[in-house]
Structure 1
């Protein structure tokens, strides 16, 4: 039985994506099976479990803004349509499957739009009233420097960097998701890291 959720029933506000900086644990088998059978309460738990990860990935790939919410809704709608056919295997993770859907959506969007330079860092929350002003200033400067450097990465390098460094995927998981050999993933990730080191080094020298 396919899930019949509409976009209006999906999350209406972007969650705090600062939590989604590492691998997201998978949802339990009982909840997953209930989702596949059309249980709306289980579907709500599914959304809450993965929404931080999905919002974070999309923000890092297309830049933060209201468009991320629309893309996240589309990711979950596509997932719900496909969930009844999803089979959990020992090496198959729901989180990686969702990131695959999100990656395809980002690529579809890029093909329809002109490429732009986009920020890699997450939208940051307002500083705490107790935060030290100097520390906050340094944090912003570091984030801005990293953003300027990351905007110089190619789309392929950016994708593998985000999946590896922010979402904790293995080389093989990224290779399966992107559809390229593992050695290609390693090369792209190495070049992304190397390029960032070079750019951040040059930025420090010019500051």
Structure 2
């Protein structure tokens, strides 16, 4: 059986398993989890670990469950880091003696707008504002370069709309 055919035949049950175990707050990560499921399945098939379709379906379901739970943990850790970062950033911006009084309103508006961004956009935008390179963000958040670019672009567009 061709791998593309395996994906086509198992896509719906794999996505259903991911939706079942992945926290709805992290729905944006469904594609990443699905991709990891099929990468692991491909590696197992390459090593001839799976002989029949029944084992394959069971194996894919188990991987989907485990990868979803792993993604939940990763995203929760990122949320916690982002919350701590935002709290520290708010304090720093509010009480910075070097900041001119006229710019407090602008900075408060930016901090509040950042806080309203979906977490997956906010993390990328914040790291960019802190001077991290795209490569560093990829490594830090464990996401793909294209994902960093799209989240940064979308996050900045949302910020522009909120601050306009």
- Shorter-chain TM range is 0.3 to 0.5
Work out which structure has the larger RCO, using CA pairs closer than 8 Å and 6 or more positions apart in sequence.
1
Structure showing greater Rg: 2
In proportion to residue count, which structure has more helix? Answer: 2
